[in-house]
Amino acid sequence: MRIAMIGTGYVGLVSGVCFSDFGHDVICVDKDAAKIARLKAGEVPIYEPGLDTLMEKNVAAGRLEFSDDLAAAVDGAEAVFIAVGTPTRRGDGHADLTYMMAAAEEIAAALTGYAVVVTKSTVPVGTNRQVQEVIASANPDADFDVASNPEFLREGAAIEDFMKPDRVVVGVESAHAAEVMSEIYRPLYLRDFPILTTDLESAEMIKYAANAFLATKITFMNEIAGLCEKVGADVKEVSRGVGLDGRIGNKFLHAGPGYGGSCFPKDTAALARIGQDHSFPMRITETVMRVNDEVKARMVEKLRDACGGSFNGKTVTVLGVTFKPNTDDMREAPSLTIVPAMVGGGAHVRVIDPQGRAEGEALLPGVDWLEDPYEAAEGADLVVLLTEWNEFRALDLKALAARMAYPRMADLRNVYSARAAERAGFSQYIAVGR
C-alpha cells in the first residue's frame, strides 16, 4: 500500500518508518528542506533507540523515502497521514490546529484519486470533521474519507509500542475507510493485537482520556509521596502494595518530581479546555495539572532545604534533565522548573545528560555541561538525580561522595536507598516520599 506521512516529527517519523517495515511504500514529507536533506543522508533528527537502524533498513529496501514535495507524495497515495504538531495554543490551553488545517488544504489540492486522510496527531474532539470540511471545501470533487488513528507511543520505547501495541484505535465512518485501515495494520491483525474500530469522536476522546488518566495516576502517587514524608511511610512500599491490586496495576505509580514531556502537559490542558468549551469542567484533570505544578515547586524547596536554606554560593551537580530516560525530549521536563530555580538562587549548576545537551543548552542557560558524573561532583555541595538514565542507576556512590565538598544526595527518582548512601559516605540522602 502507498502511504504519505505528512510531518517528520517524533510521531510522523516513527510511524512512517514502522509502516515501511510492515511492507508498505511510505513517503515522509516535511516543509523543512534541511531536515529532509538530513533524513536523506541517513541522519535521524531525534533520539529514539533503534530508529536509525530500522530507517536505514527500509530505505535500502526501497520502501521508505523522504521529500519536501507534498503534492507528489499525495498523488496516488491510498492513505495520507497527518502527523504535524498540535502544540498548546498560547493563552487559552487549546490545541493549536493551524498546522493541521494547513496540511488538510494542501492535501485537498493534491488528491488525484480516492484516499483515506488519517489524523495521527493528537487533536480535540471534532477535529476530523473539521478536516473533512476543509478538504471538501477546498476540493469539492475530492474522493476521500477521513479517519482518526491516535498514537500511543512512549518515547524511548516507540518502536516496540508500534510493533507490539496494547491496541490500535481507528475511528472511521465508512466501510471503505475501515477496509483501508485494516489493510494498513494487517501485520498486527495477523498477530492478534487488538484493533478497535469506532467512530471519529470516540477515537479522538480515547487518546485524551488515556493520557489524562495516566497523568492522574502519576500525580496521585506524587501527592501520596508528600503525605508519606509527613507520616513516616515509604512510598515505594505503598506503590508496590497498591500496584499489586489487579484493578489498579503497577504502571505509572512511581513517585518523582512531576510529569513532563510532549503529551501529558499538552493533552491534559487540551482536555480541560474542551470541558470548559462544552460547559462541563473537567475538575479532576484541572486538579491534576495544578498538583503537578505544585510537585515541581515542592522539589525546589526540598533541594533548597538540602542546601541549608539557600542555593546561593552552592555547587550542585544535576544528573539528567530530559523529561524521562532514553529520549532527548526536554518539553515540559521538571528540570525546566528545578534547574532555573537553583541558578536563579545563586547556585553554580553542573549538568550531565546522555542526550539532553542539544536542546538543553538553549533551555537551561547559566549551567555547565559535563560528560562524567564523578568529575561533575568534584567539590559539589549536592548531587541531584533528576532523570533515571541507566548510566545513573549503578554509580559508585562511594567514589561520588569522596569527590564532594559536602556529600549530600537528592535522589528524586528513588533509585538508591538511604542505607546504601550512608554506607557510601553520604551525610545526607533525600528521596521522594520516603
Catalytic positions? 263
What is d(CA 350, CA 180) in angstroms, rounded to the nearest whole number? Answer: 52
Cell numbers of 22, please?
Answer: 510492515
Helix, strand, coil shares, percent, the chain, to 5 = 45, 15, 40
What is d(CA 12, CA 14) in angstroms, rounded to the nearest whole number? Answer: 6
10 Å Cβ neighbour count for 251?
10
Closest CA to 222 of 260, 261, 275: 260
Helices (H), strands (E): how many in the chain?
18, 14
How does 289-328 read in b/e, with b if 16+ C-beta sit within 10 Å? bebbeebbebbbebbbebbeeebeebbbbbbbbbbbbbbb
How does 61-70 read in b/e, with b if 16+ C-beta sit within 10 Å? eebbbbbbeb
Is residue 82 within 8 Å of 6, Cβ to Cβ? yes
Closest CA to 329 of 362, 366, 299, 358: 358
What is the separation, in whole angstroms, between the first and last Cα of the chain? 54
Is residue 342 within 8 Å of 268, Cβ to Cβ? no
Cell numbers of 187, please?
Answer: 501485520
Cell numbers of 146, please?
Answer: 477521513
For β-strands 79-82 and 2-6, DSSP reports them as parallel
